[in-house]
Structure 1
Amino acid sequence: MDRPGKMVGVGQPVPIFPDLLVESIVDSCPAGARTIVLVDGADAARPVEFATRTAEHARSNGRPAAVVDLHDYVRPASIRFEYSRTDELSYRTLWFDYDAVAREVIAPMRPGGRGHFLPRLWNESTDRSARARSVDAAPNQIVLIAGPMLLGRGLDVDVSVQLRLSEGALRRRTDPADQWTCAPLVEYYDSLDPSAGRTDFVVRWDHPDRPALERR
């Protein structure tokens, strides 16, 4: 999520049709194996919506696919709001339970894992357990985990996608009540070390109908 003009370490973006982007992501998933796809993006980028579209494409081609919304893995309100409901540091570091995602979604999909994953852990609106049942994973199951600030968390994923918004687009597309999240989101993405890991698909997403892939 870059400020205008700040594109250090990347080449010129290559325009790509949205349908081709979805197809390319699905095609990059190893055939015949359980696959974890990370779709990283601020809520303003609607990563869950994009992940759902990708899952639908996979299913239309005979590949089982499911989406896990990171907002179904938030921590309880007593933790999220300990320092106020708009505490920026809490949003970056405490809001989402990335360890639970690794434990309940990713680890079960790996060789030797239990073979079924938990699609929802916590109900954000009621602040109670989601009481969800585990879902059996097919041998070639795709699970897409979608939400903000997923990169750089050490999650063991097979394919990673970043829906990258410029700061201007982020602020324009974020609801007024959530504008306080923009500064910590910009700080978080600016803090990522590009040498610490490779993102498979870095997508400029200011205009979702006209995305562009950054050459890595």
Structure 2
Amino acid sequence: MTAAIRPVSRALLATHLADRVERKYEERPGRIRLAIDGPPPAAPDELAAAVVEELRLRGRTALAVRAADFLRPASVRLEYGHHDEEMFLDGWLDEGALRREVLEPAGTRVLPRLWDAERDRAYREEYVDLGDSGVVVLSGALLLGRGLPFEVVAHLHMGRAALGRRTREDERWTLPVFERYARERNPEGEADVLVMADHPERPAMRG
């Protein structure tokens, strides 16, 4: 039977995701990697920050990492122009760096930020030691369907009309990419927690 969609507040949603992380840790002690995937108007970064705050209040070491801080340099990312849809879907995110520095580091230290896309230069960030039981919360768009390793996955879904209304004018060229992503990558199917975010301030949740 398909689980029912139920309305929640943003605060309760953050609490629920923190609960999911804690349950996953009980099942499999060790570092937990939570993905919060969604288009910019769904505010995945803000939700990630709220989840990290909730986990820290519970005494858990946690770090929010934005996928937008792990983009490739402009010379690579924009090789075929600023509005190339294929590159936006598969070529902007530096998956190798994310795996190496955040999701699959050899030790317990992770890098919070790598590349400043606005200035097109590397950040000078210190590594953060999360220990053996820390939590990484990776947030951003188009994260799923890449084989990146996560223990818990949340997808913030926005319908076509809502996404069109809420997307900035200079980013409307990305709308066909998000339609393709939903169709080809099946983010809803990958999600442990599906969030209906047509109205991000009044979400509904399944999972």
TM-score (norm 2): 0.90
Aligned residue in 1 for 2:84: 87
Deviations 1:96-125 (A, max 9, x none): 1122211110112xxxx3110111111111
Match of 2:128 among 132, 135, 142: 135
Matches within 5 A, 1:1-216: 12-29=4-21, 30-31=25-26, 33-108=30-105, 113-193=106-186, 198-214=190-206
**Structure 2: distance between partners of 1:17 and 1:104:** 33
Amino acid at match of 2:34: V
In structure 1, the gaps of 5 or more residues are 1-8
Given that 2:36 and 2:137 are in contact with CA atoms closer than 8 Å, whether structure 1 keeps it comes out as yes
**Given that residues 149 and 189 in structure 1 are in contact (C-alpha distance below 8 angstroms), is that contact kept between their aligned partners in structure 2?**
no
Q: Any idea what the Cα deviations from partners look like across 1:20-63, whole Å, max 9, x if unmatched?
A: 22111111111563211000011121111110011111112211
Question: Aligned-residue CA RMSD in angstroms?
Answer: 2.0
CA distance 1:27–1:131, change in 2 (3 Å): same
Q: Structure 1 residues 194 and 64, CA, compared in 2 at 3 Å: closer, same or farther?
A: closer
Q: Distance in 1 between matches of 2:114 and 2:76?
A: 15
The separation in 2 between residues aligned to 1:204 and 1:75, in whole angstroms, is 30
- Letter in structure 2 aligned against 1:117: V
- Give 2:184's aligned amino acid: S
Distance 1:48 1:194 in 2: 17
Stretches of 4+ moved more than 3 A in 1? Answer: 9-12
SS of the counterpart of 1:157? Answer: coil
Tell me how far 1:177 sits from its aligned partner: 0.8
**3-state SS, counterpart of residue 92 of structure 1:** helix
Report the CA distance between 1:10 and its aligned residue. 6.0
Does the 8 Å contact 1:37/1:144 carry over to 2? yes
| Residues in 1 aligned to 2:125 and 2:187: alpha-carbon distance in whole angstroms | 36
Partner of 1:4: none
Question: Per the alignment, in what secondary structure is the counterpart of residue 143 of structure 2?
Answer: coil
Q: Distance in 1 between matches of 2:4 and 2:129?
A: 42
8 Å contact kept, 2:43–2:200: no
Report the 3-state secondary structure (helix = DSSP H, G, I; strand = E; otherwise coil) of the residue aligned with 1:125. coil
Q: Secondary structure at the match of 2:195?
A: strand
Q: How far 1:193 sits from its partner (Å)? A: 4.1
Query: What is the aligned partner in structure 2 of residue 6 from structure 1?
Result: none
Structure number with higher helix proportion: 2
Q: What is the total number of aligned residue pairs between the two structures?
A: 202
Q: CA deviation at 1:82?
A: 0.9
* Unmatched runs of 5 consecutive residues or more in structure 2: none
